[in-house]
Structure 1
Amino acid sequence: MKVAFGVSVLARCTRQGGVDGIGTYTRELMAAMPESVALQPYLFDLPASAWVGEVPAVSLGSFRQQALAAFLPWINFNQARSVLGSGINLVHASDHLVPRLPGIPTVATIFDAIPLSHPEWVRYSFKSLKNELWRRTAFWAQHVITISEYSRQEITSHFRIPEDRITAIPLGVGAQWFVPVEQTQEAAVRSRYLLPKDRYFVCVGTLQPRKNIGRLLCAHANLPEHVQRECPLIIVGKPGWGCEDVVNRLTGGQLKHVRWLGHLPDAELQVVIKCATALVFPSLHEGFGLPVLEAFAAGVPVVTSNTTSIPEVAGDAALLIDPLRIDELSDAMCRIIEDPGLAGQLRVRGRERVRGFTWQACAEKTLRVYESMI
């Protein structure tokens, strides 16, 4: 089976020095695919040289130009079809860039419907028009893969794609998250970022409204002074949009027991999470919530939200709170600190829970979708 596989987002993230959720999915799924599947990487809006991999990529030209033309019923992605040539059994658009290629089965991975369900949480020019174009291009795929049952229901509702054309396939956790941190590596990262010697909370995510960092800062500030001092809060993530107030609070010098590290390379991020007392992930909306599983694999207790897809991922292995309730968030953080027995139980439950989420299982289920289409 020869599958044309979209790598545009992964290539762009790699060039910029940090891999996001779509990039992680693309990279890990490619690595886990069985040898019976020959993947042909392809790129939109980037030259073929932007891809660094064992199999060279092909560039399919401008996505926007071809997509706008393809809204006319008699025009398709002719440039993309010409470059791909013959012999392709299926196209997998892993990165929201879905080409219109009649005669070639196409599957698209859509991670969530957040721009449609909560347009107030995204910011780009001509938002309504771009959201409608995104919704329409999704129909060019004969089948959609998403990452949780919650996202499946949201896509059905907001994209108006029939449920029988959508398959929910959970994400996996890389083996590197199960490996203990070496002492020399831990010492180097602690020294570089001046991490606390003993305990700290960590929160991971791009600073944007739905990540709920503002309420987290309030929740930590509401902890008893000795708890704040003994267990500072470490924020990891690059600034996004709508985060001016949060950035001002993080950099204004008023929060004595909070530090913002910005974006970290993957290897250093793993150390920061693995050494943490707990991961606090109070997001308002997630299509999946991969940091929760990564913390489980690392043996780190988790406090997270009881909304959207997160309970589906976390099960009973995390303390679930209403992310709008600052008092609930503070209480859960206190319980982790003051009850070692509870923290130990969460570590055990997390390790048990995460065993069911592997990239191999994700790849096998994805392969079954491929086979059903061809």
Structure 2
Amino acid sequence: MDGIGYYSKELYRNLASCAEVQQLMPVVFGSSGSSTLDGYQVKNLPSYRFEASWSAVSGMSFFGTSSMTSSIDIFHSPDHYTPRFKQIPVVATLMDAIPLSHPQWTSQRARKLKNWMWRKSGHWADHIVTISEFSKYEIVRYFGIDADKISVIPLGVDECYFERLSDDKVEHIVADLNLPDRFFLFVGTLQPRKNIERILDAHEALPPALRKETPLLIVGRNGWGADALVARLIANGSDGEIRWLQNVGELAKRVLMQRATALLFPSLLEGFGLPVLEGFASQTPVITSNATSLPEVAGDAALFVDALSVPALSEAMVTLAREEAVRRDLVVKGLSRARQFTWEKCARQTVQVYDRVLSTC
């Protein structure tokens, strides 16, 4: 599940427990494959691509609106599929503006057309929710949406990451993955802006003994634009100083997070950077970038580096591998920082946005 899917699932689950929300109606563009979700009736609308194209050209609302006006007070689009409804207030979540601000770091398939449609559909919402002040600035700049129409609501951390896993849950995963006692860890989809090539370069620049003692584990599926990186990872094999773990389940991910010497997340560009908070909750020290949204999310609880500097990243890795006092300090700060971000809080703040939108429509 990608970040948008995870956000949609957690927001849906936590909105259902908010007293102010009387009922949820799941809406799916195209076929959902199911008539109900968690006991709620699923509303199916035609394909979003068809609906959006029609609306962009004609200026008309999406089809199916008339059948929803009597039963829906407000429509929330959490996944960039923002509809045009003239009789129903619309809130849309835009995680970031990366396809517009850095189109070279996104899939190039029909990119110009997708960006035009995405920018246009952003203006169909009565209000925008985004996940960081950095993303808000980017949306104002690249979508041309007034800052007063944008609310910042940070993401939450799943409570499961705070739970310390018992030995019986850990041992078989450690054995299955052949985990070393110490290792550096990256978690995320393989794509250019994740900066994984520099992570590999930084690890290879470590002193030979430290590199052997503390291998680098790359956890994540192949996304796009990473052919050279994939070839490099495969060439390193599955039991050397650099290892690529592609298909890791949620429990195994938590084991990796809790056992890592440090989590490496020196991304070049993030709208939020949820793995940083997951590392904090797992009581693992984190190395991350000193740019975009990451300082905003991490506060004073991470070791910050210039994401473009391999020597700086390598030096930070040496620090966390050898200086236990620094590790302990970051673990304490990180755990406290992660506690500030909950999905319940995210849902409550989202309901407050609904109230404001309804009071003005």
TM-score bracket relative to the smaller structure: over 0.9
The within-5 A match list for 1:356-367 is 356-367=340-351
For 1:136-158, what per-residue CA distance to the aligned partner results, in whole angstroms no more than 9, with x for missing partners? 00110000000000000000000
Within the candidate set 292, 296, 303, 1:312 is matched to 296
The one-letter amino acid paired with 1:157 is R
Aligned residue type for 1:167? S
8 Å contact kept, 1:297–1:350: yes
| Counterpart contact for 2:20–2:351, Cα < 8 Å | no
Q: Which residue in 2 is equivalent to 1:75?
A: 60
Q: Provide closer, same or farther for how the CA distance between residues 190 and 56 of structure 1 changes in structure 2, counting only shifts above 3 A.
A: farther
> What is the SS of the residue equivalent to 2:218?
strand
Matched residues, percent identical? 44
The TM-score normalised by the length of structure 1 is 0.92
Alpha-carbon distance in 1 for matches of 2:127, 2:263: 35
Query: How many Å apart are 1:163 and its aligned residue?
Result: 0.2
2:219 to 212, 236, 245: 236
Determine which of 327, 331, 336 is the counterpart of 2:315. Answer: 331
Check if 1:260 corresponds to 2:244. Answer: yes
SS of 1:203's partner is strand
Q: Closer, same or farther in 2 for the Cα pair 1:31/1:303, shift >3 Å?
A: same
Alignment CA distance shift 1:74-1:250 (3 Å): closer
1:257 Cα offset (Å): 0.2
Alignment partner of 1:128 is 2:120: no
Distance of aligned partners of 1:189 and 1:156 in 2 relative to their CA distance in 1, 3 Å threshold: same
1:282-321 matched pairs, under 5 angstroms:
282-321=266-305
Hey, what's the Cα distance between the residues in 1 that align with 2:31 and 2:109?
21
Instruction: Tell me whether 1:187 sits opposite 2:171 in the alignment.
Output: yes
Instruction: Report which stretch shifted further, 264-273 or 163-172.
Output: 264-273
Further displaced range: 33-42 or 200-209:
33-42
* RMSD between superposed Cα atoms in Å: 1.5
Alignment of 1:271-290 (within 5 A): 271-290=255-274
Alignment partner of 2:46: what SS? coil
How far off its partner does 1:82 sit?
Answer: 4.5
Supply the distance in 2 between the matched residues of 1:219 and 1:46 (Cα, whole angstroms): 46
Per-residue CA deviation, residues 150-187 of structure 1 (Å, 9 max, x unaligned), is 00000000000000000011111111010001211111
1:1-374 matches, within 5 Å, as: 19-33=1-15, 34-37=18-21, 38-49=23-34, 52-79=37-64, 81-82=65-66, 84=68, 86-196=70-180, 198-253=181-236, 256-374=240-358
Residue identity matched to 1:284: L
User: Take 1:39 and 1:219, find their aligned partners in 2: how far apart are those partners?
Assistant: 48
The alignment of Structure 1 onto Structure 2 pairs a total of residues equal to 354
- 8 A Cα contact 2:76 2:90, kept in partner: yes
* Residue type of the alignment partner of 2:119: R
CA distance 1:372–1:109, change in 2 (3 Å): same
Structure 1 pair 317–51 and aligned structure 2 pair: CA distance change class (3 A): farther
Question: 1:294 Cα deviation (Å)?
Answer: 0.7
What's the secondary structure of 1:288's corresponding residue?
A: coil
Structure 2 CA distance for aligned equivalents of residues 211 and 92 of structure 1: 29
Native 8 Å contact 2:26 2:37 kept in 1: no
Amino acid at match of 2:8: T
Check the 8 A contact 1:48/1:58 in 2, yes or no.
no
1:51 positional shift: 6.8
Q: What is the SS of the residue equivalent to 2:104?
A: helix
**Amino acid in the other structure paired with 2:199:** L
Shift, 1:193, TM fit? 1.1
Take 1:304 and 1:50, find their aligned partners in 2: how far apart are those partners? 43
Unaligned runs of 5+ in 2: none
Q: Which deviations, in whole Å up to 9, do the C-alpha atoms of 1:64-103 show, x marking residues without a partner?
A: 1111111235521023x14535220000000000110002
Post-superposition shift, 1:30? 1.5
* Alpha-carbon shift at residue 256 of structure 1 (Å): 3.1
Q: Which amino acid aligns with 1:28?
A: E
What is the distance in 1 between the residues matched to 2:119 and 2:73?
Answer: 25
**In 2, are the aligned partners of 1:59 and 1:83 still within 8 Å (CA)?**
no
